[in-house]
Amino acid sequence: MNELKHLKHLSAVKSNTGIKFLTPAVSPGNHCPMRIASVIVEDIKGLSSLLVGMQEYTTHSRLFSPNPEGKHGELHWLYVLDAQEVVFGCRNSLMGALRKMDKAGAKAILMIVTCVPELIGEDIEGIVHEIQPELSAQVTFVLLGQFKNISYPPGSWKTMEALGVLMKAKKTEPARINILGRSPEEKHIPMPSLLPELVKRSFALRYLAPGASLTDFQSAPDAALNLVVCPFMQPLAVKMEREFSVPYIALHTLYDVKRIHRTYEGIAKHFGFSWDNAFEEERQEALTLQNQAKERLDGLRYVFCLRIDIPIPMAIYLARLGMEPLLLHLEEYYPEDRSYAKELVSMGYNPWICRMVNAEADLLVLEKLAPDLCFGYLSDINKNIPCVLDMFDFYGQVGYGRTSNLLRRILGVLDEVHLRERGNKHGPASI
């Protein structure tokens, strides 16, 4: 298809810059990562922030972060570059701002650096290195120039990774487990069955995500294990393993029933206990649905659209069910996606990779591809492309329950297609 000539296949994509827009139509774009970072910081008790950028950035930030002070004495200040600083840099004045925040009582400061400081080559790392010995507050930073970060996910995962700088090595607590990617009081996402089972076995769970506290993050290296339940937290887990020797297990990328079983058994072996068939009913249910899916999905071709949080690992699972990926929308190419991409390509699949931002124009291309199924969000339900919608419903869920819910949704769409085709073939049912 000529419409896909400008795109790269998965094997040729190595970073975000390799992902092209599916269609050239004009789009207002996505949320700036700066916005996501600012919102996250406000939700971490005890963490202050300094947003550095031009007036339009700082003004925009006050629309969703209107208060310069947090609920618990945090400081959320703005540093506006003037015309001279755009040319000659802001090193001295920026260090002065950090001194003022330190004197005002900030415990730890995250600098959120936007486009212009990066464009002029301001050495933020050098500034932090020079000023840190003078301050009581720890300082870390995240570079979020949108010319390098096309969409919003870096505002989450890079901010979380930057918090690793605030951690210090601690003595390991043998019964302590960090849950990376779930807040302490998260009601809208079902609790994975794994977590209460760990509590039953006397493990202390510390939840690290927006909603946790600065103290929680600073204490995190005392854990015996990190369990990752969302993609935004895996880079932090990698950093903690490298710098503090805290091992991690990524749960959010697991769908295959055997892989989930092996992973759960690995957790039990790591700590020296047995699950005593705690998950057997869940496992059998997921295995039954997976066997049904293999029979019905084998040979079907599909595309990924918007709002799928971990596309490549999910594509690997669908490939194991016999499905062929034609085109994948990737909102973000995470650091760990290189290894996942190699696995999918080694299975004999090398789909086109793109970003979809123009619903009407993109839909015309998808219709030409004529996939059997579409996963994700389509702005206009298209009868020619059966769609498995609301894939963000699975965000933050892990284990057998998520696999079962996903497969039920897919099989439900196939049932709807089957009924529709029967209706078209035999005409309307008589009353």
Three-state SS letters, 390-403: CHHHHCCCCCHHHH
As a whole number of angstroms, the distance between CA 84 and CA 39 comes to 29
Average pLDDT (160-174) is 97
pLDDT (0 to 100) of residue 431: 34
Contact present, 238 and 335 (Cβ < 8 Å):
yes
Mention the CATH class of domain 33-149: alpha beta
Burial category of 8 from C-beta neighbours within 10 Å (exposed 0-12, middle 13-18, buried 19 and up): middle
Which residues does 311 contact at the CB level (< 8 Å), separation at least 6?
A: 304, 328, 329, 330
Confidence of residue 423 (pLDDT cuts 50, 70, 90): low
On the question of pLDDT at 430 being above 70, the answer is no
On the question of pLDDT at 330 being above 60, the answer is yes
| Annotation: CATH topology of 2-28+298-398 | Rossmann fold (3.40.50)
CATH classification code of 167-253: 3.40.50.1980
On the question of pLDDT at 371 being above 50, the answer is yes
- Percentage of the chain with pLDDT > 90? 75
At 262-272, the pLDDT tens digits run 999 999 999 99
Residue bearing the bigger pLDDT, 428 or 414: 414
Of the ranges 120-134, 145-159, 241-255, which one carries the lowest mean pLDDT score? 145-159
On the question of pLDDT at 281 being above 50, the answer is yes
At 84-127, the pLDDT tens digits run 999 889 999 999 999 999 999 999 999 999 989 998 899 999 99
Same fold, 2-28+298-398 and 33-149: yes
Domain boundaries, the chain: 2-28+298-398, 33-149, 167-253
Q: Three-state SS for 11?
A: helix
pLDDT (0 to 100) of residue 58: 80
> Do you know the residue count of the chain?
431
